[in-house]
Amino acid sequence: MSHPAKRLLDRFVRYVQVDTTANDASTTYPSSPGQLVLGKLIAEELRAMGASHVEQTDNGIVFATLPAVKAKPGPTVAWIAHMDTSPETTGKGVQPQVHANYKGQPIPLPGKPGLVLDPAHHPDLAAMLGKTLVTTDGSTLLGADDKAGVAVIIETAQRLLEKPDQPRGLIRLCLTCDEEIGKGTDHLDLKKLGADWAYTLDGGGTSEIDHATFSADLAEVIVHGVNIHPAIAKDRMTNALRMAGMLLERLPRTMAPETTDGEKGFLHPYKIEGGVDRVRIAILLRDFKTAKLADQADLLRSIARSIEADFPAGRIEINIKPQYRNMADGMEKAPRAIPLAHQAMVAAGLEPRLTSVRGGTDGSRLTEKGLPCPNLSCGEHNLHSPLEWTCLEEMDIACGVLEKMAVILADG
């Protein structure tokens, strides 16, 4: 293993052991203190390696600059990753397991007996023979989403700064907070960032350029019932739990995430809470065509009205909150963004693939706000899960892509 690759591995392992789990119930920004801890650590690393204009804002966002070297006048490009991890699986007490020279065997995860990362169920592992993998111990997620991207950006910055005579364009670095709970760009000042376009490093595998994402809304469904003691409930009780169950049952299975793929969107109920008098259901609305989100909302309302007809004393309230929009809708504002990423990948010896994300990134919101921001691969696999893993060689390849990009930008 080369020294830069070993340093990249050590960096990644160091970052994932800082608990930065986002907290969607928090009223602070960032939503968890570990994000400030990790940001401070990284800001100190950036200063030590010689990056300029290093800053951690009061909101925890880290900025830095790699000044241009022997470069023609040209665009300023930003590399962005998020420091928080998903609240769907805990990120507290992460114990990364490093598996060198992977031989294709199932990998038992010692923190949860019986949990195994098995190539029979995870086909991405088939291409990993001889590579170095990092997994969880099974009791937490790993946090490669998006600390793989964070590590790739910071490692690439160090590699570039170690080559002071190599031409490069002007690069801005930015690490955000709370992307996993939809707030990653809430406090990101685009004027302070000062980029013409950007790239998030928050993608799976290698060689992929995500140029499109879902558009997304959140439906908050509140079912109102009437509670009374069950002993005297006849003709007087309206059970919100029963109404909620009927609503969930009437959602088309053909529109569930577990039955859809490719370009087809979905309706995904993912949280329910409450009792007889009131139930709250959170439902994700997703589609690559933004207009279809309104159709999904209308379907929910139609189902709600049909249930209300059977429960005259009950009521179902549906509130739709916009979340993010398909980045493809705004990519024309920076026509060089995708060709530059393609050129950098080719220069790094890869065969680039344009892909669409069945989800969203900070880049979705940034593009919507006027900063075009495709998403690039950085070795992530099995996101948001105790079965999450990453590949060191894929992360190292992502560093190589960013290095090539910086050199290409020197030509203006």
- Dist. CA 22–CA 177, nearest whole Å: 8
The Cα angle at residue 403 between residues 162 and 166, in degrees rounded to 5: 50
179 catalytic residue (yes or no): yes
Are the CB atoms for 160 and 399 separated by under 8 Å? no
- Measured distance CA(352)–CA(333) in Å, rounded: 22
Q: Do the Cβ atoms of 200 and 373 come closer than 8 Å?
A: yes
Query: What six digits make up the tokens of 406?
Result: 């910086």
Tokens coding 102: 């992977």
The angle that helices 337-347 and 392-409 make with each other, rounded to 10 degrees, is: 120
| Residue 249 appears among annotated catalytic residues | no
Marked catalytic residue, from 137, 145, 155, 179: 179
Name the catalytic one among 84, 180, 362, 393.
84
Q: Which two tokens stand for residue 399?
A: 């560093």
- Please give the Cα distance from 98 to 142 (Å, whole number): 11
Burial 318-344 (b: 16+ CB within 10 A, else e): bebeebbbbbbbbbeebeebbebbbeb
Question: And the tokens for 27?
Answer: 């009223």
Q: Mind telling me the catalytic residues? A: 84, 179
